[in-house]
Amino acid sequence: MKQINTIAVLTSGGDAPGMNAAVRAVVRTGIYNGLKVLGIYKGYEGLLNGDIEEMTLRSVGDIIQRGGTILQTARSKEFNTPQGLEKAISMAKVFGIDALIVIGGDGSFRGAKDLSQLGMNVIGIPGTIDNDISCTDYTIGYDTAMNTVLDAIDKIRDTSYSHERCSVLEVMGRNAGWIAVNCGIAGGAEAIILPEKEFDIDKDIIIPIVEGRNRGKKHYLVIVAEGVGGAVEIAKYIEEKTEITTRATILGYIQRGGSPTITDRVMGSRFGARAVQCLVEGKKNRVIALRDNKIVDIDITEALNMTKTIDNELIALSKILAL
Ligand code: F6P
């Protein structure tokens, strides 16, 4: 078994609150275990450009409460080519990197898997606000993003009530509806439109609103996941059909920022520590995951072949609670 002396960590893809907690945990548990820890700036792009520096216990001081990622992040086109991968392996050799920890989403893990096939030992830590990585029940940033959305919903509800309006709120999640379904339940939405489920605008939006109005409701909230999109058009249609004044809000990048919640700080810390632990134990090519409330590690190829479907019970519950 090759002795691991030097490990490197990078953040890749969309940033997520709690990534800094994971970086901090990797650096501190790495140094605690006698390893040299390098920080790679701007994801795989930084690996190709040698934008790399040694991290100390102090380089990760005062970051656990900060959103974004101190290592910055990027989406690199060059890395995703055979030449780019070879260059990444050469740069890793130049810097003496024995193992690479990648904090990001499944696109970033696919890049890590490609590197593993060229001999690099890689460990993935799930970091994305979307919670759309199949092998894990939780991804760093998801809780903070949902709390940001919920805060927006509560504010929108105040003004919707005052004006007796309907609001259509589009939330992030790429092709997944995890943020939408949970925030819809927590925010008391009349309708939640998800990319995972076909929808009929009259049956799923107009009828619940009209029936709600007949029961005495004074304001209405429709959550649309970005994977469905079209919040502005949906709002227009609702207003035409119901004559209820309807406004659309697309929350956008506000969902990616902000100080991480306690859940994201603790999950980031636990995922980061487990990634280093895997390397100390001599494991290769793993993804760290939360499954049934336990931190586990899974072979990266197996992890990337898994699928995860939206929870039908949550969808059913959201409909009952919207009555
Ligand atoms: O994956 C996180 C996320 O914010 C998605 O919800 C969204 O679809 C995407 O990133 C936006 O990516 P970009 O930062 O490239 O605009």
Q: Above 90 in pLDDT, residue 323?
A: no
Report CA(16)–ligand 1 centroid distance (Å).
10
d(CA 185, CA 200): 20
Tell me the domain boundaries of the chain. 6-141+260-305, 143-257
Looking at this protein, which amino acid is placed at residue 273?
A
Give residue 253 CA to ligand 1 midpoint distance, Å. Answer: 8
Q: What is the CATH number of domain 6-141+260-305?
A: 3.40.50.450
Residue 215 above 70 pLDDT?
yes
Nearest to 55 by CA among 7, 14, 125, 92: 7
Pairing of the two strands 294-299 and 286-291: antiparallel
CATH fold of the domain at 143-257: Rossmann fold (3.40.50)
Cα(99)–Cα(110) distance, rounded to whole angstroms? 16
Q: What is the pLDDT of residue 106?
A: 94
Q: For residue range 82-127, what is the model confidence (pLDDT) as tens digits? A: 999 999 999 999 999 999 999 999 999 999 999 999 999 999 999 9
Mean pLDDT of 42-66: 98
Task: Name every protein residue with a CB atom under 6 angstroms from any ligand 1 atom.
Answer: 14, 105, 128-130, 172-174, 226, 256
Q: Looking at residue 1, what is its pLDDT? A: 58
Predicted confidence band of residue 2 (pLDDT cuts 50, 70, 90): low
Separation of CA 38 from chain center: 24
Geometric angle at alpha carbon 311, from 305 and 316, rounded to 5°: 155
- Written as one string, the DSSP assignment of 171-215 is E--TT--HHHHHHHHHHT-SEEE-TTS---HIIIIIHHHHHHHHT
Burial of 26 (0-12, 13-18, 19+ CB in 10 A): buried
Cα 61 off chain centre by: 24
- Across the range 310-315, mean pLDDT stands at 92
Confidence at residue 75, expressed as pLDDT on a 0 to 100 scale: 86
Contact 235, 248 (CB under 8 A): yes
> Residues with catalytic annotation?
130
Q: Are 208 and 323 in contact (CB under 8 A)?
A: no
Mean pLDDT of the chain: 97
Is 6-141+260-305's fold the same as 143-257's? yes
Q: Which residues of 93-106 are buried (b: 16+ CB within 10 A; e: fewer)?
A: eebebbbbbbbbbb
Judging by beta carbons within 10 Å of its beta carbon (0-12, 13-18, 19+), is residue 279 exposed, middle or buried? buried
Confidence band (pLDDT; 50, 70, 90) for 58? very high
Q: Name the band, by pLDDT with cuts 50, 70 and 90, for residue 296.
A: very high
CB atoms within 10 A of CB 91: 19
Taking only the tens place, the pLDDT of each residue in 236-281 is 999 999 999 999 999 999 999 999 999 999 999 999 999 999 999 9
Nearest protein CA to atom 16 of ligand 1, as residue: 14
Tell which residue, 90, 86, 114, 93, has the closest CA to residue 102: 114
Residue 206, pLDDT > 90, answer yes
Ligand 1 centroid from CA 14, angstroms: 6
- Alpha helix ranges (H) inside the chain: 19-32, 43-49, 82-94, 106-117, 142-163, 178-187, 201, 207-214, 231-242, 262-280, 300-305, 312-321
CA 13 to ligand 1: nearest atom: 1
With a pLDDT cut of 90, the percent of the chain lying above it is 97
The residue nearest atom 15 of ligand 1, judged by CA position, is 14
